[in-house]
Amino acid sequence: MTKATEADIRQGSRAPLALGLLTAMIVLSADQLSKYWILYGFHLPDRGSVPILPGLNFTMVWNTAVTFGMFSRAGASGRIIFSVVALVIVGGLMMWMARSRRPLITCAVGAIAGGAIGNVIDRLRYGAVVDFIHLHAAGWSWYVFNVADSAIVCSVAALIVDGLLQDGRKTG
């Protein structure tokens, strides 16, 4: 192998990691910018809930819980513990991303990491996560969530589907 080919292989092996890190930065930026705009541009805390489209409101919720209201009474020490746990998980995700050579995996894992970091920033800055996207229709109402939550849920779903498809290819 020539030196140029070896360098190309080494460089190519870093491309999925770079893509994952870029995805994490995009999700983190979109999450934090949307929250900043909701709080200081749109002034949602003063407005409560604002209809945007049929089935979509911007509704201000300061989420002190983890997921679906769990551990909502954990207090300041709980907030620190949840933040540390989330950052340890992000560290594990970064190791997974560094080892993966598949762009789908690194993008999904990067989006999860970016979303988790965005919510940790909120917990440490505000004492709660800023949630504001409220979907509802015909008497049905979903939890109020944010851009980070969306990225995390969609990415976990993508990893599950990818895992199922990969298992199908291995057994088939």
Instruction: Write the CB contacts of 122 (distance below 8 Å, at least 6 apart in sequence).
Output: 35, 128, 129, 130
SS3 75: helix
Note down pLDDT in tens along the chain; length 172 residues.
455 444 444 455 688 899 999 999 999 999 999 999 999 999 999 999 999 999 999 999 999 876 655 555 666 777 788 889 999 999 999 999 999 999 999 999 999 999 999 999 999 999 999 999 999 999 999 999 999 999 999 999 999 999 999 876 666 4
The residues spanned by each domain of the chain are 27-171
Annotated catalytic residue 149: yes
d(C-alpha 104, C-alpha 158), whole Å = 8
Residue among 156, 118, 130, 145 nearest 56 (CA): 145
Q: Are 97 and 106 in contact (CB under 8 A)?
A: yes
Q: So what's the pLDDT on residue 8?
A: 44
Annotated catalytic residue 131: yes
Q: So what's the pLDDT on residue 81?
A: 86
50 DSSP β-pair partners: 58
Q: Which of 46, 149, 162, 167 is flagged as catalytic?
A: 149
Instruction: Write the CB contacts of 77 (distance below 8 Å, at least 6 apart in sequence).
Output: none
Q: So what's the pLDDT on residue 64?
A: 87
* Residue 1 CA, distance from chain mean position: 41
Q: Which of 8, 31, 122, 131 is flagged as catalytic?
A: 131
Q: So what's the pLDDT on residue 66?
A: 66
